[in-house]
Structure 1
């Protein structure tokens, strides 16, 4: 039978287990909060179950160690790392939709045309900015498509100011299931506008 030195167990193995358990539960918690804000009830509930189960395991180990400094340190470091990991995972998943708002002082017709050609729904208005007339372009896009929309902005209006905001829900007659206008749908709406 293999025996583990109590000092190695107390100062190395258990703190490492607490650290990784804390990363797991805080990652679940971070994702759960993000999913709640997006209205994903079932997924949030499942993550909440795993989050609290792992947390109870981790906290019970912290207290079973007689409140050792190594266990406390592992607990705190795991919390910090779990936040980072959770946000990183959510960014890679890129769930949801966002509104990209572009403000440009230059002619925006080519940018608007290219965004529409790429399948992005756009609305534009003329406005008055601090230094004169501007065009404001709104486009609702899936988060995974933000980089493509911004690529168009940088290509056709490289000095444009833009903001991106997450939105919980968008819908309407011109939206397809994936949040884009089908190419054939674009032609139909373009003909109506003439």
Structure 2
């Protein structure tokens, strides 16, 4: 029978509460990260992370259940849960796995200062290492450029800022593709993006 924590700690000790908090925060952060891996289709990495996750879960649950009568331990378990979710989101955001596809619609109007550089936007973004496909469209108030831009997800915020600098009123929709095949494919995007931004 598992008896982790039974002999090492007293039922109401602060040391035990901290142990429960740390283990549960660690478990939930890994659980959150693993869930995001599953959603993004990382079919090999997700099971490996799940093994570590469950080992920590068994230890945390065994200790918590042996001392469930303590309000301090219950609070530590609950707070660890919330903190773990936050940490998991931060970890995934920092690692930023995968790619994003921006669909950007900009108005073409050389006589309007807000739109005078719209036609230059595709080439400016290509020089910064992004894969850009351009098509022309007609909107209610005139011609438009529709850009499909593939970028590493870690570049999402920077790309958004760069588009807004050139075309402040651009309509931007961001999607996260699950699979990429053919065309200006992912490894080439990574290589060109890092080459263009290595000194920035």
Q: Which category of TM-score, normalised to the shorter sequence, fits these structures? A: 0.7 to 0.9
Q: Flag the structure with higher helix content.
A: 1
**d(CA) in 1 for partners of 2:60, 2:48:** 19
Write out aligned runs for 1:140-179 (5 A): 140-175=150-185, 177-179=187-189
**d(CA) in 1 for partners of 2:165, 2:124:** 10
TM-score (norm 1): 0.80
**d(CA) in 2 for partners of 1:62, 1:131:** 63
Partner of 1:118: 128
Write out aligned runs for 1:1-150 (5 A): 6=10, 10-106=12-108, 107=115, 108-129=118-139, 133-150=143-160
Q: Give the unaligned 5+ runs of structure 2.
A: 1-7, 109-114, 194-200
**d(CA) in 1 for partners of 2:128, 2:75:** 50
CA separation of 1:20 and 1:131: change in aligned 2, threshold 3 A: farther
Contact 2:68 2:74 in 1 (8 A): no
Runs of 4+ residues over 4 Å off in structure 1? 128-133, 180-183
CA separation of 1:129 and 1:14: change in aligned 2, threshold 3 A: farther
C-alpha deviation, 1:120, in angstroms: 1.4
TM-score (norm 2): 0.78
Contact 1:122 1:139 in 2 (8 A): yes
**d(CA) in 1 for partners of 2:9, 2:124:** 67
C-alpha deviation, 1:5, in angstroms: 8.6
Partner of 2:4: none
Partner of 2:5: none
Q: Give the unaligned 5+ runs of structure 1.
A: 184-194
